[in-house]
Structure 1
């Protein structure tokens, strides 16, 4: 979803979400840009940040878990120190996830990124590899 302003409206019916957006600023050398989400019931003040530099595109990425479902949400981008600057947003995306999709992705990341095969080689005191050595890890 693309927006020429600093906010857009998105129908929202799920509890998990990810946000991405390309951010460019003017009128400041650099600024910490914060994405916030306002729902019918609550405001989530920081769901993603990026340190943007004047005239350069910077990639903002973040995520959130809603306390309760909402039919409507407002996504806001602002300078974290509330100075007035021009913010341009392109290729912004608010991606909803079901609980099942979130858990599947979480388990996938655990299995592929955190759990990796390890080969252990056993050596004697002189550094010579011992053939047929067995290591048991409990």
Structure 2
């Protein structure tokens, strides 16, 4: 009978977790499910089921929750917008110096400056986009 109570508690905790999104109640639901399994396998006293619930919940909160949160917080793995251009190869279209220049990145023309102010890149050279500063590509021979 108490296994049914633990299952109901686990389901209620999962439902409440859907509203909160903090993953704490989900870990507690895992503890309740574990207590239900222990009760279903062996006829244990209520205090033993409570200990199983507490131990499993604490273990889940301390080990699984941080990993899942880190995984969920991670940004997109695909670079977007100007971040996608960093590290790309470009071809110099007009001489790039500390004052002026243009490069072609994936078919698009960009104004460019060298990453190192004293470098000069001539037309036709291959460069690498190191960073985008506003609408200007900072490039480096590499």
> Under a length normalisation based on structure 2, what TM-score does the superposition of the two structures give?
0.25
Q: Which has the higher strand share?
A: 1
Q: Which has more radius of gyration?
A: 2
> Under a length normalisation based on structure 1, what TM-score does the superposition of the two structures give?
0.25
